[in-house]
């Protein structure tokens, strides 16, 4: 969702669902639900190409195995404001020896809604909530990303909300809002500790157009690609614990966020559940480098 270049990057066809409840115990606390899909067009079929010079025919792959596709839908509710959207992604992957360079572009549209019927003001007759109040607005936009990865590492950069479209929402007394660009940098390296254990430190850095930087610093431990667990520190003063398990092609993950700031004393933390299904080769990681 944050880097469209990742669509089809690993050669699998994946289906993912995520549910997140932030600040459990707060009334009307933020909730997020999403579903996503990605795949890669592999060299699975061939076509005959005539060669008039040598007077013979040859078989070549009908696809070069470089195209990845993806899509997601998301619904995010924060008190009286809801955001629902859909995105479609096209990615192009270039094999460079044992590395892969990927580019991705996503087109998306979001609906923003204010539940004006449940708004309450300190005084009746507030001019903001009048007959010209527009409670629904639509925002088309685009994302771009690039990703470079090898056997043990990955690094990526992406920009979301490229067009910075305006939101015509609210009343005439409220100026138009504009979606801000977001910039993301992510990277990680996986160390092989033994035949069964691997350790992966990683980082996710993000900021908006008006420079509001945040970062996640993470450390995950894998056991035979069947179990994993880890910790993250978010610079907005949060600690995240996460665990996961793989059962054949089914992946289940859970994370718990605890705010270290004052707000952490008044809720039961944030909870997120992720369920994924990966279809494709069950061989060791990165065999996909030879599949295209």
Render pLDDT for 124-133 as a digit per residue (tens, 0 to 9). Answer: 777 667 667 7
Cα separations in angstroms, 248 against 16, 32, 218, 251, 281: 15, 27, 25, 8, 11
pLDDT for 62: 57
End-to-end CA distance of the chain: 25
d(Cα 198, Cα 224) in Å, to the nearest integer?
A: 8
Mean pLDDT across 268-276: 96
> How many alpha carbons fall within 13 Å on the CB side of residue 38?
23
pLDDT band at 21 (very low <50, low <70, confident <90, very high): very high
pLDDT above 90: residue 24 = yes
Higher pLDDT, 231 or 281: 231
The pLDDT > 90 percentage for the chain reads: 59
pLDDT above 50: residue 283 = no
pLDDT for 284: 43
d(Cα 279, Cα 12) in Å, to the nearest integer?
A: 6
Specify the pairing of strand 56-61 against strand 46-51.
Answer: antiparallel
Angle made by CA atoms 99, 103, 107, in degrees to the nearest 5: 155
Helices (H), 154-206: none
Cα dihedral 116, 174, 137, 142 in deg (nearest 10)? -140
pLDDT above 50: residue 158 = yes
* Domains, the chain, ordered by start: 4-43+60-290 (2.40.160.40)
Q: How many CB atoms lie within 10 A of CB 247?
A: 8
Higher pLDDT, 290 or 130: 130
């Amino acid at each position: 969702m944050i880097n469209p270049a990742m669509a089809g990057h690993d050669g699998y066809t994946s289906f993912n669902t995520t549910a997140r409840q932030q600040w459990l115990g707060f009334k009307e606390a933020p909730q997020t639900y999403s579903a996503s899909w990605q795949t890669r067009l592999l060299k699975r079929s061939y076509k005959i190409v005539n060669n008039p010079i040598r007077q013979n025919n040859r078989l070549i792959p009908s696809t070069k195995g470089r195209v990845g596709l993806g899509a997601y839908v998301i619904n995010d509710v924060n008190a009286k404001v809801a955001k629902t959207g859909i995105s479609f992604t096209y990615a192009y992957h270039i094999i460079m020896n044992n590395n892969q360079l990927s580019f991705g572009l996503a087109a998306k549209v979001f609906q923003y809604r204010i539940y004006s019927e449940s708004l309450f003001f300190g005084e009746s007759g507030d001019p903001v909530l009048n007959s010209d109040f527009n409670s629904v607005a639509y925002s088309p936009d685009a994302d771009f990303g690039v990703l470079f990865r090898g056997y043990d590492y990955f690094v990526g950069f992406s920009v979301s909300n490229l067009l910075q479209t305006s939101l015509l929402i609210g009343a005439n007394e409220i100026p138009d809002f504009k979606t801000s660009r977001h910039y993301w940098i992510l990277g990680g390296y996986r160390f092989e500790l033994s035949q069964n254990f691997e350790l992966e430190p990683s980082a996710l850095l993000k900021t908006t157009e008006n420079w509001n930087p945040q970062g996640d610093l993470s450390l995950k431990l894998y056991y035979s690609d069947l179990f994993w667990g880890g910790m993250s520190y978010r610079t907005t003063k949060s600690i995240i614990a996460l665990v996961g398990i793989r059962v054949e092609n089914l992946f289940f993950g859970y994370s718990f966020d605890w705010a270290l700031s004052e707000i952490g004393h008044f809720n039961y933390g944030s909870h997120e559940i992720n369920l994924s299904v990966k279809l494709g080769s069950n061989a060791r990681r990165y065999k996909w480098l030879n599949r295209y």
